[in-house]
Every structure is written in C-alpha cells, then in structure tokens.
Structure 1
Amino acid sequence: MAVPLVVAVFIALGIGVLIGIEREWSDPGNLFAGSRTLPLIAGFGALVQAFFPSLLPIAVVFVAGLVVVAYVAKVMTTGDIGMTTAVATMLTFVYGAMATHSDTGLRLAVVFGTVTMALLAEKRPIHEFVARLNEAEMRASLKFLVVALVVFPLLPPERIAFLGGLRLQFVWLMVVFVSGISLTGYVFATLVGNEVGFEVTGVLGGLVSSTATAVSMAGNARRDPSLTGLCGVATVIASLTMFPRILLEVLVVNPSLFVPVLPPVVGMVVVGVVVSRVVYSGVSEDVPLEADVENRFRLWPALFFGLFFAVVLVATTTVSAEFGATGVYSVAIVSGLVDVNAITISLSNLARGGTISTATATSGIVLAASVNTAVKIGIVWLFGTQRLGRSVVVSLGAVTAVGIGFVALS
C-alpha cells in the first residue's frame, strides 16, 4: 500500500467512529453497538487483515457470532426486531478490513463508509421518499431493472453481421442508461408532487420527456387560457432541458466529442433563455401546474426505444458509408422528429469508432436537436392554442434557427 499502515488503521477507526456516533444519535436507548463498539470493530477488522489475513474468515465468524448474540438479546429484552445496527456492525468490520487490504480497498472503504453513514442518518427522509412513490410504477421499474440485469450479460458483446454490425450488449446498455435518466426525472417529479410551479414542472418534465411535457402544457393552456404564459414558459424550459441530456449522453458515450458539441448546444440554450425572458417577461405568477409524464423506466417503452435506437444506429452506419455526411444528416432529421437520444448516442458511438468525423457527428446531433425543438412548436400549435403557439414559436424558433445556422456554417 502507498498509504502507511498506521494511517490506514486510523482511517478505519474514523469510519467506525462516524457510523458509531450516528447509531448512538439515532437510537441512544436501544443499541448494542455505538460510538465505542463500532470503532473497535473497525479496528479489529483492519488489524486482522493487516497482520493475520489468513485468520480473516475466522474473525468474520467471530464478529458475526457477537452480533447474533447481541441482536437476540436486544429482541428478547426490548422486542425491537430492527436489524439496522446489526448490519451496520458487520459492514463496519468489512470496511475496517478493506482499509488495510489495499489502496483501492481503502478508497472504497471511505466511500462506502460515508454512504452507509448517510443512509443511516437519513432514515426519516428515505422512508418518506419510499412512501410517496407510486407502487405500480415502481414495481414496473423494478421488473425492468431485473430484466436489464439478467439480459445484459446474456447478450453477445461482439458485432453481429446479419444485424448490420450491431453490438446488442451496447444497445441494451444504452437503453438502460437513457431510461435511467428519465427515471431520475420521474422520481424527482413524484417527490415534489403532481402539481408544482411552472419552472419546476418544465425542468422535471424535460428530464422525463420534453415532448410529453409539451403535449401536457398544450392541454393545460387549451383547458384554461389564463395559464397560457405559464404553460409557454414550462414548455420552453422542458425543451431546453433536453440539451443538458444531450451533453450527458455525449460525455458518457464519447468524451472526446463533448468539447466540439458544447459550444453550439450552449449557444442554443443561451439564446432560448434570453429570448424567452423577453417573450415571457410579464409572466410572474407561479401557480401550480400539472405535467402528465409517465415513468419510462419500464419494459415496453424501453424495448421500443431499444428497437428505435438499433434502427437508427444501423441506418447511420449504412448511409454514412454510402452517402457520407449528407446521409448522416438525413437520418438525423428523420430521427429528430421522433427522439433525439437515439441519434445522439448513435453519432457519438460512430465518431468514437472513426466511422464518421467529429464535425459530422457534431452537426448531426445539433441538427437532430433543432428538428426535435421544432417538433415541440408543432405540438403546441396542434394540441394547444394559437396564443400559446405564437409565444412558443418565438423562443423555440430562435433556438432552432441557431442550431440550423450552426449546421449551415459548419
């Protein structure tokens, strides 16, 4: 280890102290391990791993035996069957052993020790969080998560020739990644409630689905014309939230493409913010708005996205070989009419592999985002009111114009 052994041991003791103090604060009258016992447990694990590693399994059994005896005594005397402290005690021993195992083990012990303390300390907020989640939606999400974890290792990592060179494992990984972003927005939307201010509605709706948010806001404006200004702002914010998603996807799939994509994307967002502040300068009342967005971290929406993503990936690979940048832009336009995530990941992946140039990938992503932004304008005109359409077309039209102008000048 690069870290001196004595330092690693003291770090292990520190982890034990932090977890022990939290346990004692959380339940001072009903503990069998607190601010004194847990540091000793962590130190025991650290010293055994450092000097007697062959005896570590015996030490684990010994500590587990102590925990079982203490837990049974607690249940018999208090009737409390909670196992949190028992589990925390075993984890503390493991973290102590990790701290003196290796440099990697030490870093992981610090990280997981901190996470453990945070989870223990946030008991009430975590329980409130779980209570506010929709049971049916979360069950659907968990089912998809199980399927995702089971399916991923079964898919072949190599390219499949008769499927256009697709790597099914990569496709499925991107499905889980994009669905996870939507799940994050959905969970936050659930936590803040069904009806929130228009700015929060726009951001959270954009994380889940900016298109679905545009449809929802158009419906709100049609039902109550007095909400037109608020719905317009929420629609614009949701549409602009799409751009940070694009940057995140590019950063994950192809970090080298992030810097070229950043200027046009930031430029589109800045123009959208500036123009919308002028257009909606008179909108100040922050009344509750309801955004009808659904959890996309489910099996069928994920499978649909996976199929669409696979088609886009094959199409961009094929047309780029046949028609070059012109073919890529054609696919970007068609894909942008439906979904910008698929084409963003596809072009990022192709640029990483050298199939297309960085400039072509950047322009294709910006073009798809511009088309998708224009689709939001069409949605509010189709499902909303003319007044809402006129306000949105100015803000999102400016965003679209900046994107198309960038592509034209590239």
Structure 2
Amino acid sequence: MNPFLTHVLVSACLGALIGLIRQWNDQQTPEAPVDFGGVRTYSLWSLLGCLSAFVSDNYIAAMLPVVMVLVGAHLVVAHIKSASDRYPGGTTFASSMLTCLIGALVNWGYTQSAIVVAAFTMVMLGIKQPVHSITSRFTTADIRATLQFVAITGVILPLVPNRAMGPYLAFNPFSIWLMVVLISGIGFLGYVLMRMLGTKAGIAATGFLGGLASSTATTLAFSKRSKVTPELATDYAFAVVLACTTMYARLAVMIGVIDQQLLLTLLVPILVMAAPGVLYAAWIWFSKRATTQPEVHPPSITNPLSLKTSIQFAALYAVAAFLIKIVTNFGWDNAVLPLAFLSGLTSTDAMSLLMANNHKDGTTLLQLAAQAVIMASLANTLAKAIIAIVCGSRSYVKHTASILGLMVAASVLALWLV
C-alpha cells in the first residue's frame, strides 16, 4: 500500500478511538447531551493533522500551524456561543489539539509515538468519572495536608544541608527528610486506595491496604470493633493479621530502595516472620470464599502526608539515629538491639530505614543491621498483640493473639537465622 494512504488510515483509526472514548464519556454524564465531538469529529481532526502536516512538508509550509489555529478558534467560538451550561472546556480543547498533532506525528513517521500519545489521551478522557468519584472522597483536611507536605518537600528538601551535623555528626537533615518522604509516600498509597474503595472495600482489601497505610492503626481500630460487633470477630482478625503481614512486604520495599544487599540478607528472615500470617490468611480466605464478604468500613487513619505525622516520624528517626551513633561510637554494639526493640514498639519504619542507611554508609555491619530490623519488627508485632488482647473481644483475641504470637516466635527464629 502507498505509505501516504497508510498514514491516512492510521491517523483516522487513532482519531476514531479517541473520539469513541470521548463520546462514551459524554454519554455517561447525567446532563443533557451536548455535541463536543465523537468518533466522526476526532477522526476528521486527526486526518486534518495528517494532511496538513503532509501539505506543510511538500507544498505550503504554514498549513499545519493554520489548521491548528483554526481548530483552536473553532473551540473558542463554541465556548463563547454555547447556550448551555455545558461548553467545551480545557479537556476538550487539549484532546482536540492533541488529536491533530497525532495525525501529524503519523505523517512524519513517528507512528509508535503517535500510538502512545493517543493511548494516554484515551486514558485521560476515560477516567473522568472514576477520578471525580475518588476526589470526592477526600476531605478538606486531606487536601490541605497533601499540599503542605508537597510544598515543604518541594521547597525545603533541596535547600536543607546534605551533610552530617550536630553532636557526634549524627544528624543529616537531607537524609532525615528524604526518609520521611519515602515512608509517607508508601503510607499515602495505601491511604489513597482505602479512600477510593471506601465502605465497599472487602475485608481482605482493607487488611492489605491497612498494612500499607498503618498496621498499628488497623489493629487498634478492628480490635475495638470486635467488641461492638463480636459476630465479625473472625473477619476482623483476618484483616488485622493480613495488615501485620503486609507490614513485612512494606519493609522489604523500603529497605530495597536504599540497600539491596541488606534486603537480600533479610529476604529469608522476612519470609519466616511473615509465614504464620500468610498461612492463616490463606486458610481464612479459602474457607470463607464461598460466603458473602461483609461490608467493611475502613479504619480511621491519619493522612500520612500530614505535617504533624511527618514531623513525628522525622523526630523518631532523628532520635534513633542519635542514639545509634552514640552507642556505635563508644563501641557498645550490643546496645543496638535493645534500642531497636524500643524503637519498634512505636514504629518499625524508623529503625529499618536507619539500618539500611547505616549499612549502606558502612557505619553498621550487615549482620547487626539485619538483626536490628528483625528486632524492631518483633517488638512492633508484640505491641500489636498486646493491643489486640487489651482492646479486642474474646473470640477475636483467640485468633489474633495466637497468630501474632506465632509471628513473634518466628521473629526469634529469624534472629537466629542471621
């Protein structure tokens, strides 16, 4: 086939696909339909781009810019003269101009690039309703906390000194805040997904996402609920065990981002520590999959990007770094594990990230760093077992405390393995 005809057909097809998504998206809106362009219009816009690029290359150099200006002017006029409350907005304008340029790319021989741009445009057009549904679930406090965090990170992080400071050179402001960004980002992923799912989240999804956001908060929330609705005690225990097991996967990801050698050393111990939770969760899942899953309200978890949460984590990380620096400077390496245990009672993240950084910098031996991470995990699991016992119902405690107890025992075994 003639290459030019191939370009024309490909352009028309890509434009038609974009128009299909746009037309479908408009038909999903409850308002009265307004013709903003569909399969036919977008096919023609893509053809205009392809043909005008061909004419610009061979005959009239200004043809493509003129066509782009005319398409833009058409949309502006449609916006001004629209008698309806609905009128072509920024998305319509951008998708129309992109469709013309996609046709031009095809004519210039960048077919793969044109397909990628077309696919991205289709995705952006198609996710309008899901995005609106997701954003409607966020509160004003969520948005404010996110904007605060982004502003402070984007402005302050590049400006803070990236060198050791303070007593015993224990503090590196840049490193501390970078660790805050890492742990908050992972927590925020789980937080966003929980907001997206809302009350429709199944018990398994809630447990997994709770483990990404905060396994401790998830344990506390479901432990209290088990007394209010004891008939769901087994389901709550399943969610908590799954959240506590997910914590190990989160730790592995965080450590792997910083120090792959430490991750490889901890890979088998992490699998050992997670094994009781994985086996219990699998048993519950397969024994209950034939039954209807209860509707679960996600636990109340503070936005991980809130300034207060970020400062608390930064302070915990800085204190742990200072204490570890002191004991290592004086040759008291045996004190590292007790410090890891105390730190793990509140959070495993600070000690795990600190050990990954210290081993990477050569200030902590590989074996000691791995043992400290395991000790912090052991303490955190023990703390959550105590929370379950104190706050949960009897049947809930029977399931949760026993599995978390096995996970503590597995942590002791993991210590021996390294």
Give the TM-score of the pair, scaled to structure 2. 0.79
Matched, 1:268 2:268: no
Partner of 1:3: none
Structure 1 residues 145-199: Cα deviation after superposition (integer angstroms, max 9, x where no partner): 233222222222x214226343322322221221222222222222222464432
CA distance in 1, matches of 2:101, 2:252: 38
CA contact (8 A) 1:16 1:42 kept: no
3-state DSSP class of the match of 1:153? coil
1:172 aligned residue (149, 174, 177):
177
Counterpart of 2:293? 286
Deviations 1:40-80 (A, max 9, x none): 547978999xx9xxx9xx99976763453122222225654
Aligned-partner SS, 1:372: helix
The match for 2:144 among 133, 139, 148 is: 139
For the Cα contact (< 8 Å) 1:337–1:375, is it kept in 2? yes
Among residues 323, 338, 346, which one is paired with 1:315 in the alignment?
A: 323
**Using the alignment, how far apart are the partners of 1:152 and 1:45 within structure 2?**
45
Name the SS of the counterpart of 1:328 in structure 2.
Answer: helix
Of 236-245 and 361-370, more deviation after overlay is shown by 361-370
- In the TM superposition, what is the alpha-carbon distance from 1:226 to its structure 2 partner? 2.6
Q: CA–CA distance in 2 between the matches of 1:100 and 1:168?
A: 52
Identify the residue that residue 182 of structure 1 maps to in structure 2.
187
Q: Which residue of 1 aligns with 2:208?
A: 203
Q: Distance in 2 between matches of 1:235 and 1:17?
A: 48
Match of 2:408 among 386, 393, 400: 400
Q: CA deviation at 1:228?
A: 2.3
Inter-CA distance 295–94: structure 2 relative to 1 (3 Å threshold) = farther
Say yes or no: does 1:249 pair with 2:286: no
**What's 2:35 paired with?**
29
Give 1:220 deviation, angstroms.
0.9
Q: Which amino acid in 2 is paired with 1:369?
A: S
Contact 1:351/1:357 (<8 A) preserved: yes
Shift in CA distance, 276/117, structure 1 to aligned 2, threshold 3 Å: closer
Given that 2:258 and 2:357 are in contact with CA atoms closer than 8 Å, whether structure 1 keeps it comes out as: yes
1:87 aligns with 2:94: yes
User: Which residue does 1:228 correspond to in 2?
Assistant: 233
Partner of 1:159: 163
Q: CA deviation at 1:349?
A: 1.3
1:335 aligns with 2:346: no
Asked if the contact 2:238–2:284 (Cα under 8 Å) also holds between the matched residues in 1, the reply is no
Q: Percent identity?
A: 27
Does residue 128 of the first structure (1) align with residue 133 of the second (2)?
yes
CA offset at residue 261 of structure 1?
Answer: 1.9
Q: Is the 1:313–1:346 Cα contact (8 Å) retained in structure 2?
A: yes
Whether contact under 8 Å (1:185, 1:205) holds in the other structure is: yes
CA distance in 1, matches of 2:117, 2:379: 44
Q: Does 1:361 align with 2:369?
A: yes
Question: C-alpha separation between the residues in 1 aligned to 2:254 and 2:157?
Answer: 19
Aligned AA (1:86):
F
| Deviation readout 1:94-136 (Å, 9 max, x if unpaired) | 78999999x9xx87x8766543321212222222222233343
**Structure 1 residues 136 and 60, CA gap change in structure 2 (3 angstroms):** farther
Give the conservation status (yes or no) of the 8 Å contact 2:46–2:101. Answer: no
Aligned positions of 1:351-390 closer than 5 A: 351-390=359-398
Give the letter for the 1:346 counterpart. Answer: L
Corresponding residue of 1:73: 77
Relative to the length of structure 1, the TM-score reads 0.80
CA contact (8 A) 1:20 1:39 kept: no
Q: What one-letter code is carried by the residue in structure 2 that aligns with 1:326? A: N
Letter matched to residue 72 of structure 2: V
Pick the aligned partner of 2:399 from 391, 396, 400: 391
Query: What is the correspondence of 1:59-70 to structure 2 with a 5 Å cutoff?
Result: 65-70=69-74
1:252-309 CA distance string (max 9 Å, x none):
2223333222221122222322246668997766323432323222111111112212
Whether the 8 Å contact between 1:272 and 1:395 is mirrored in structure 2 is: yes
More moved, 160-169 vs 246-255? 160-169
Q: 5+ unaligned residues in a row in structure 1: which ranges? A: 1-5
Change (3 A) 1:252 1:30: same
Distance in structure 1 (CA, Å) of the matches to 2:171 and 2:50: 48
Deviation digits for residues 309-367 of structure 1 (CA, Å, limit 9, x no counterpart): 22223333443343365233222211111101111111111122222233322222122
Q: Is the 8 A contact 1:20 1:38 kept in 2?
A: no
CA distance in 1, matches of 2:367, 2:118: 44
**Secondary structure of the structure 2 residue equivalent to 1:132:** coil
Residue type of the alignment partner of 2:94: V
